């Protein structure tokens, strides 16, 4: 039996022509440990999770920058229906119960790259740092860059 027939639902990334079969739990985020890796600094390391619950699939949002379903911001959870569009930052995934077309790559999980594994802080993370310590660091950097304070 092929994986397409065993899988009850899919998340489809039409931009990259990829289809992800949904298991009991599928994680979505920027981190290398996720099933679906979205390479966008606005996406949290572990942004969302789709879980099979009570015969259906439920989206659990964890990301700080928000998650939308069909253009509407969701809270913590949202029950998914056929052809719902999940928007995370600049990425969209379509939930469907129909097997993907032959033009799609069926991918059980994304393979992390070297950049994914580095897990460097994003601009949003740096922005959340204490502003005083950030300002002191920039001041020290600028003093070093200019050769120190000028006294005439």
Which tens digit of pLDDT belongs to each residue from 2-20?
444 467 899 999 899 999 9
Taking the C-alpha atoms of residue 56 and residue 54, their distance in angstroms, rounded to an integer, is: 6
Taking the C-alpha atoms of residue 30 and residue 37, their distance in angstroms, rounded to an integer, is: 5
Taking the C-alpha atoms of residue 74 and residue 81, their distance in angstroms, rounded to an integer, is: 14
Indicate the pTM of the whole model: 0.72
Q: What is the pLDDT of residue 59?
A: 96
Taking the C-alpha atoms of residue 101 and residue 18, their distance in angstroms, rounded to an integer, is: 10
Query: Minimal CA–CA distance to 94: which of 80, 106, 104, 84?
Result: 84
């Amino acid at each position: 039996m092929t994986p397409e027939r065993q899988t009850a639902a899919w998340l489809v990334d039409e931009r990259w022509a990829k289809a992800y079969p949904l298991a009991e739990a599928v994680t979505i985020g920027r981190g290398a440990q996720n099933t679906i890796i979205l390479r966008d600094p606005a996406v949290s390391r572990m942004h969302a999770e789709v879980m099979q619950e009570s015969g259906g699939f439920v989206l659990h949002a964890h990301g700080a920058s928000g998650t939308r379903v069909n253009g509407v911001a969701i809270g913590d959870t949202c029950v998914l229906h056929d052809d719902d569009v999940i928007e995370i930052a600049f990425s969209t995934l379509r939930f469907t119960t129909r097997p993907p077309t032959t033009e799609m790559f069926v991918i059980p999980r994304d393979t992390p790259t070297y950049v994914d594994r580095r897990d460097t802080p994003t601009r949003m993370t740096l922005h959340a740092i204490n502003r005083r310590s950030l300002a002191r660091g920039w001041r020290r950097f600028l003093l070093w860059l200019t050769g120190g304070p000028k006294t005439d």
